[in-house]
């Protein structure tokens, strides 16, 4: 069983920064790829970024160069550093992982980019 808890969301002005955190419970965290998704009101949930067990990263085109995903295996944590935020980045951000026993989502954290 895996539990994912996101934090760090909030209200930020365009051009600002936020760092999201995802705390993961359960063993074997370091072996799992971790991903961030986001869902804006009335839209589907979209991929944002991923980090493999070895640290390889992948990003959606819309966030490349602005967002950075990282992980701390000693703390079972995944982070999403978001810079140069735009109003279109407004969404609920979710942490996600998939292991043999199934797929797991966090409860989400709201990010609002507005002046």
Please tell me which residue, 1 or 98, carries the higher pLDDT value: 98
pLDDT tens, residue by residue, 18-73: 999 999 998 778 889 999 999 999 999 999 999 999 999 999 999 999 999 999 99
**Rounded Cα gap, residues 106 and 100, in angstroms:** 17
Q: What band does 101 get if pLDDT is binned at 50, 70 and 90?
A: confident
Say how many C-beta atoms besides its own lie within 10 A of residue 80's C-beta.
Answer: 27
């Amino acid at each position: 069983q895996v539990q994912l808890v996101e934090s760090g969301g909030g209200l930020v002005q365009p051009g600002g920064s936020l760092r999201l955190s995802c705390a993961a419970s359960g063993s074997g965290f370091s072996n799992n790829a971790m991903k961030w998704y986001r869902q804006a009101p009335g839209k589907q949930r979209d991929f944002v970024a991923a980090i493999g067990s070895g640290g390889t990263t992948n990003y959606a085109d819309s966030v490349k160069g602005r967002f950075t995903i990282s992980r701390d295996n000693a703390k079972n944590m995944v982070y999403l550093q978001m810079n140069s935020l735009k109003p279109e980045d407004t969404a609920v951000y979710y942490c996600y992982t998939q292991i043999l026993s199934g797929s797991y989502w966090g409860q989400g954290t709201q990010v609002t980019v507005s002046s």
